[in-house]
Amino acid sequence: MTNTQGKERKKKEVENLRELFSNNGVYLFDYRGLNVAEFEDLRSRVKKIGANVKVIKNRIAIKYFEEKKEKYGRELFNGPTAVAYADKNFIEVAKIIVDFEKENKKIKIKPGFIEDTFVDINKVREVAKLPNKEQLMAQIAFSVAMPLKKFGMSLSAPLKNFIVLLNNLKDKKGKEENNG
């Protein structure tokens, strides 16, 4: 491979990282200790929700951040580094990575990027605790529907009470006529 080909390949790899880091959720982790089957298990869990996992080269990531004039380079990208990333389901990806870390104890979560903002490990874990989109939609629907239901019940309560009162009066009149 010529020097020019090598430079072109590195430029392409940096461009691929630019695309990868443009996702809403990008979570870095050290995968040291995982065997191939375990790594594929993690990859398949992430792919089920439409996201991806990829091993990245530290020197390419450092070059990418140097080009962006960001300070995350060398201290963030040391040791084996993989990245789980998604644009739409980034909360679910965080949950999968955090759960996998708890189950497996072989990966170590590193800081990540959420909506192009650097976040530490604790923020990644906090994001993993957030409800997903479906849960949020259900909570919103419930919080909108419940007051409406209670309002409807309070509107109908006087009418129900009035009907009960009329029935009680009718029963009382019926008893008085039968006794009198």
pLDDT tens for each residue of 104-163 = 888 888 888 888 888 888 888 887 887 766 766 776 777 776 776 776 777 677 777 777
How far is 61 from 78, CA to CA, in rounded Å? 10
pLDDT above 90 covers a percentage of the chain that reads: 2
Three-class SS of residue 21? coil
Residues 6+ away with beta carbon under 8 Å from 73: 61, 62, 65, 66
Q: What is the pLDDT of residue 145?
A: 66
Q: What is the pLDDT of residue 21?
A: 84
Q: Average pLDDT, whole number, for the chain?
A: 81
Confidence (pTM): 0.69
How far is 58 from 69, CA to CA, in rounded Å? 16
